[in-house]
A and B are shown apart, each in its own frame.
Chain A
Amino acid sequence: SAVISQKPSRDICQRGTSLTIQCQVDSQVTMMFWYRQQPGQSLTLIATANQGSEATYESGFVIDKFPISRPNLTFSTLTVSNMSPEDSSIYLCSVNYLETQYFGPGTRLLVL
């Protein structure tokens, strides 16, 4: 299996600020995925991050709001920009390894 770590594990932020979430995986993977899970809801894919190219965003998510970096095959960051209370959620990094989707521990974000 793939082991994924995320930082920070949780944060409380003020409206209008930005937070960058880091994701590190212990294996080289082509694609890394960022999901959001709002309270009591299922997982929603934000974007797919490929190394060396721009991330691909799902409908309803834009690069200005959720810029992503993918500098190498084991690391990615997701920034939540100009935050509002509606951005309060759990953000999960995920990778596909040997045809199975694995998830990081998540980052719990609360925006006041």
Chain B
Amino acid sequence: QKEVEQNSGPLSVPEGAIASLNCTYSDRGSQSFFWYRQYSGKSPELIMSIYSNGDKEDGRFTAQLNKASQYVSLLIRDSQPSDSATYLCAVTLNPHGQNFVFGPGTRLSVLP
């Protein structure tokens, strides 16, 4: 059973702080890792993808992957109220679309 777990929310952080979102996965063969943001009533939108161990930065977002620990995280620096959303971690064995497994999501609330 392939599983993806995320830290339970809701997570509340003050504006300007760093928000840390965590995800663990069970299948050691997983190759590709994604973070999606989903605003209430909207469809998920891709924020970051990461394939290799280490950090990947894009603006205020940093994804961290540790395959040995089966752990992937997303850091949001200088959090803004507009970052308030549900963040979904997704993992796949196959980057071509098959077998994407989504975590339950973590709801983030950034307080002004």
Contact = CB atoms under 8 A, between A and B. Distances in A.
Interface of A: 31, 33, 41-43, 45, 48, 92, 94-96, 99-106
Interface in B23-46: 32, 34, 42-46
Contacts of A43: 44, 88, 102
B105 A42 contact: yes
Nearest to B104: A42
24 contacts: A31-B96, A31-B98, A33-B97, A42-B88, A42-B102, A42-B103, A43-B44, A43-B88, A48-B97, A48-B98, A96-B95, A96-B96, A96-B98, A99-B32, A99-B95, A100-B49, A101-B46, A101-B97, A101-B100, A102-B46, A103-B44, A104-B43, A105-B42, A105-B43
A70 to B, nearest CB: 14
A37 to B, nearest CB: 9
Contacts of B46: 100-102
B44 A99 contact: no
Interface in B20-76: 32, 34, 42-46, 49
Chain B interface size, as a band, is 10 to 19
Interface string B72-102: 0000000000000000101000011110101
Interface of chain A, main secondary structure: strand
A106 B43 CA distance: 6
Nearest to A95: B97
Nearest to A93: B43
Which of B88, B102, B103, B105 is most buried by chain A, counting CB atoms within 10 A of its CB?
Answer: B102
A101 B90 contact: yes
Q: Give the interface centre of B42, B97, B105 by most chain A CB atoms within 10 Å.
A: B97
Contacts of A41: 104
A55 to B, nearest CB: 13
